[in-house]
Amino acid sequence: MKQTTMLTTASLLSILFMTFHLADDILFGMASPRFVNLFAVLVFVIWLYGTVVLAERRAGYIIILLGSLLGLVVPVVHMKGSHGLVGGEIGKSTHAFFFVWTLLALGVTAMFSIILSVRALLNLPWRRSRRASTAVYARPAEMDVTQR
């Protein structure tokens, strides 16, 4: 399977798991259902744009990398603290399995996206060669005066 196809799939799954997670956070009372959540929607849209529209471009890889780093932070934040992953109200809920599974799946897909986006960025040429950029400008000067 092509690396770009794997990266697109993993990034789309990470976005999906992030939306599941945000919905769970709102349902469990960890995030307030207010206007500020539209900022998260904006982040998801930018991440989606980088994944789908800017695929195989440097800007797309950078957006995927930043979004995946954000996605990797979420499980870490929920696993820290005095209650851990299923402490408090979540541990008493019947929906704890889906909450925990979503966090674990998000961690896996985000880490995989980070690895693939870093590999893709490292494989891109960072500069054009001098010959390629100067060859375009050198041609008119090399032409004979009689040919102009």
Could you give the number of structural domains in the chain? 1
Write out the residue range of the structural domain in which residue 95 sits. 3-147
pLDDT at 35: 83
Least trusted range by pLDDT, from 12-21, 44-53, 91-100, 127-136: 127-136
Residues 113-125 have a mean pLDDT of 93
The percentage of the chain sitting over the pLDDT mark of 90, rounded to a whole number, equals 49
Q: Which helix (DSSP H) or strand (DSSP E) does residue 55 occupy? A: none
User: Alpha-carbon torsion 35, 66, 86, 94, what sign?
Assistant: positive
pLDDT at 137 over 80: no
Distance CA 23, CA 96 (A): 13
Contact 117, 64 (CB under 8 A): yes
Distance CA 66, CA 47 (A): 8
Contact 40, 22 (CB under 8 A): yes
